[in-house]
Structure 1
Amino acid sequence: MHRLSRDEARRIAVRAQLLDADRPGDVVEVAEQLGAIKIDPTAVIAPSEHSICWSRLGWVYEPGHLTKAVEVDRQLFEYDGHFRPTSVLPFLWPLMRTRRLRASTRDYLDANAAFRADILKRLGRDGPLLAADIPDTSAVQARDESGWYGANQVPRMLELLAYLGQVAVSGRVGRQRVWDLAERVYPAGLAEPSVDEAESALAERRLQALGIAREKSSWSGVATAGEPATVAGSTWRWRVDPAAVAALDDDPGGRAAVLNPYDRMLFDRPRLTELFDFTFVLEQFKPKSQRVYGYFAHPILVGDRFIGLLDAALDKKKENLVVGAVHELVPFDDDEREMVHAEIRELGEWIGVPVRGLDA
């Protein structure tokens, strides 16, 4: 049983997410450690997949690095809304092929068996293809309670087939996905672990990415990976990565980081509150009159504390990064303010635009 102070637990979490002073070397190292890089088109400042990489790598990161790793080197692959390291594919593969689908999804696939076969045949003959290049021959439309889909059933069917490991995203043209048969995207000769072995390995990888997480939490998916731990002042049962505990004495120190709202560091909201005393609410889907910090405010981490939120956006012509506010959750001291402002200016430099509205 590891007995950790709250400071130690936070340092483990920050370091596991590559947000300490010791920056990683490249985008593949980022993906290997984080396990998944969220893809989202919302680009108030920059798309999530790019700002997540920038917050780890800094100014050396270029979006082309991610594209090359995915489409040329095949060190990463796209699956279920994330870029993931190819090293986890052998463990996802058996889960893809044994997915238990909801009854409504099974009924949809059964009713559209011919449509499903048409897509696979078209990709086999003509792929890789954009969804727009594939005709919709569906017999039944799926209910769209989310509002994300239109009447065209091709994107919906492609995503289901990708979830089941039959097709895969081979690349992108702008924000549009290019699809192909999975056998032509994924490497041949994947290992064949059992479902139990695969789930155990993925739990270990999730814990590696988090450093420390609540035992058997649905937010983290670490189950009982790693080793048990207690955290001072917390009644939770924790699991901790033993390698992260062993590295506590080798502390490179902290830094300032501006995090995209879809950053993996922020996903486990209960852990965020329990360890960091930070309750993060994304106000993107709130009416404007109910927003406190802004439409797409980016949390600001300094060292192992969340001390503020950045409300900023590119202007309509994308010529300036306009800072609406830097909200101080706790009063900044002079050093913290300097670090935060320097990070915001570096963000502007990385995007290639001046920063407007930031106090001197």
Structure 2
Amino acid sequence: MNAPTPTHELSLTEARDIAIAATLPAGGFADVTAALTRLHAVQLDSISTLARAHQLTLTARVPGTTTRTVDNALNDGPDPPAFDYPAHALALVPLADWPLWAFRRRAARRHPQYPGRHARTALLDRITRDGPLSLRRLRDSAEAGAGWGWSPTKTAVELLVWSGELASTRRTGGQRLFDLAEHCIPAAFLSDQASDDECLTRLLGHAGAALGVATTADLADYLRIPTPVATRILPGTVLTPVKVEGWGTAWADPQALTRPARPHQNPTFLGPFDNLIWYRPRVQRLFGFTQIFEAYKPPARRKYGYYVCPLLAEGRLIGRADFTRRDTTLTIQRASLEVDAGPEATADFAQACQTLAAATCQARIELGNHARDATWLKPTSVLVGSRIQLPPVAREARHTGDRTWSLA
């Protein structure tokens, strides 16, 4: 197949602005549903040392929201806005996208571990009888000590989610509730009629809109499909072939090429599972920034920390910090800036910390021992400087000790 002919040439700066504006536009999104509609997948993860992955992704995009209001929007309304599905990793996916994942549901039914008729019938009958159930309640007594590993019941339940016989659209106590798909997915969306190529054509278009401009590998990673499959499908999508400085041929959302990019401006810490930094080769290509996730490394082998959030400021990734929270305190375990972070980096860091504390409902910011070793991170100049504009819920910052700040 001949390579597509680029219709536009973009500098790296232009590509970076388009990419940020696509996923983090200036002014953010009106609400959680609007953010989901643009991103089409928001990754879920069980680590909660700072907040859940989806909470960080969505609070960064919907001004004025907190981790609590995000989960209220997802779980408390009469109609849930999303279902859980392995779209990237396990992710929140807008309900309207259900028909487009038919290709993966069909593949799940061919999986070697797809449960047999007896196991399927037992699980589906149990849920039919008892209503939506958590995995904990679905497990039998023989699996009571299995923790959250892949026990036979968990394997069967997850594959029935992949196949579309079960679905999860709500949580209770942080646990997913599993129900029959026909009970929780609106009838208007409950369809498997689209062919594999039709599904992938539309999904790649959605991924392109969420990324703004991307290589074939970037787009394939967004959907977790093989790159050769994306290469074959992309010419039939709505995306436009472009040439990006240092990349070669890429693909762009045509709407992003017809209007000036308006990327997010306020300094923001991105959760480690944020859509903008999902794919490490893309992060390196866009920002010259090495994204590392070290939670599963032994502590002695971690360079930056356990739950590290990169700092986005003025269109660049200029630093990172390892955060944890306890009670009402946000603790900066470690912090570092890139060598070219710039003169405003300390103020950007401080402002982003204040915003993160408000989003995660923390009343104070505390420096851990490692963070105190960062000579640029000083209480008087960084976290309570006169230039810091605090969120509405934290209008006054008071120095309350050698390493603690109160935001209320």
TM-score interval, normalised by the smaller of the two chains: 0.7 to 0.9
Over the aligned positions, Cα root-mean-square deviation in angstroms equals: 2.5
* 1:114 corresponds to: 118
- How far apart in 2 are the matches of 1:348 and 1:55? 12
1:264-303 equivalences under 5 Å are 264-303=275-314
Distance, in Å, in 2 between the alignment partners of 1:230 and 1:312 is: 38
User: Does the 8 A contact of 1:230 with 1:238 survive in 2?
Assistant: yes
Shift of 1:176: 1.3
Q: Does the alignment pair 1:243 with 2:262?
A: no
* Cα distance in structure 1, aligned partners of 2:167 and 2:269: 32
Q: Aligned partners of 2:195 and 2:83: how far apart in 1? A: 22
Q: Residue in 2 aligned with 1:228?
A: 241
Contact 2:329 2:363 in 1 (8 A): yes
Q: Measured at CA, do residues 134 and 325 of structure 1 come closer, stay the same or move farther in structure 2, by a change above 3 Å? A: closer
CA distance in 2, matches of 1:338, 1:103: 51
DSSP-derived class of the 1:59 partner = coil
Long gaps (5+) in structure 1: none
- How many pairs are equivalent? 343
Contact 1:115/1:137 (8 A) holds in 2: no
Cα gap change, 1:79 to 1:70, in 2 (>3 Å)? farther
Change (3 A) 1:120 1:96: farther
Task: Summarize the Cα distance change of 1:189–1:345 in structure 2 as closer, same or farther, 3 Å threshold.
Answer: closer
Displacement of 1:344? 0.4
Are the equivalent residues in 1 in contact too, given 2:161–2:167 (CA < 8 A)?
yes
Deviation of the 1:104 alpha carbon = 3.4
Distance 1:331 1:215 in 2: 30
1:341 and 2:350 equivalent?
yes
For residues 249-274 of structure 1, what are the alpha-carbon distances to aligned partners after superposition, in whole Å with 9 as ceiling and x for unaligned?
Answer: 25366221101111111111111111
1:130–1:57 CA distance, 2 compared to 1 (3 A): same
Which one-letter code corresponds to 2:119 in the other structure? F
Letter in 2 for 1:31: L
Distance in 2 of aligned mates of 1:331 and 1:2: 30
Q: Name the SS for the 1:105 alignment partner.
A: coil
Contact 2:17 2:261 in 1 (8 A): no
Query: How big is the shift at 1:237?
Result: 2.2
Q: How does 1:1-360 map to 2 (within 5 A)?
A: 1-18=7-24, 20-70=25-75, 72=77, 73-80=79-86, 81-92=90-101, 94-99=102-107, 104-106=112-114, 109-110=115-116, 113-134=117-138, 136=140, 149=149, 151=151, 153-190=152-189, 192-217=193-218, 218-221=220-223, 223=231, 224=234, 225=237, 226-234=239-247, 236-247=248-259, 249=260, 251=262, 254-315=265-326, 318-350=327-359, 351-357=361-367, 359=378, 360=382
Structure-2 change in CA distance of 1:272 and 1:252 (3 Å):
closer
**Could you list the per-position Cα deviations for residues 270-308 of structure 1 after superposition, in whole angstroms to 9, with x for gaps in the alignment?**
111112111211111222222111111101111221110
Cα distance in 2 for partners of 1:289, 1:65 equals 35
Deviations 1:89-133 (A, max 9, x none): 1212x2244115676324xx23xx312211111111221122233
Q: C-alpha separation between the residues in 2 aligned to 1:270 and 1:63? A: 33
Query: Which amino acid counterpart does residue 244 of structure 2 have in structure 1?
Result: V
Secondary structure of the residue aligned to 1:128 is coil
The one-letter code of the counterpart of 2:245 is A
Question: Which letter does structure 2 place at the counterpart of 1:162?
Answer: V
CA distance in 2, matches of 1:119, 1:100: 17
- SS of equivalent residue, structure 1 residue 178: strand
**1:83 CA drift (Å):** 1.1
After alignment, is 256-265 or 187-196 more displaced? Answer: 187-196
Task: List per-residue Cα deviations over 1:181-221 (Å, max 9, x = no partner).
Answer: 00001011335333221111111111111111112553234
- CA distance in structure 2 between the aligned counterparts of 1:117 and 1:95, rounded to whole angstroms: 23
Give the distance between the partners of 2:245 and 2:172, measured in 1 at CA: 49
Give the conservation status (yes or no) of the 8 Å contact 1:6–1:233.
Answer: yes
* Helix, strand or coil at the partner of 1:220: helix
How far 1:135 sits from its partner (Å)? 5.2
Contact residue 357 and residue 363 of structure 2 kept, 8 A? yes
**Distance change >3 Å, CA 311–CA 89, structure 1 → 2:** same
Q: Which moved more, 1:47-56 or 1:218-227?
A: 218-227
> Is the contact made by 1:41 and 1:175 (CA closer than 8 Å) also made in structure 2?
no
Identity of aligned residues (%): 27
Q: Which amino acid aligns with 1:158?
A: V
CA contact (8 A) 2:51 2:67 kept: no
The worse-fitting range, judged by mean Cα deviation, of 298-307 and 187-196 is 187-196
More deviation, 29-38/212-221:
212-221
How far residue 150 of structure 1 moved from its aligned partner, in angstroms, is: 5.3
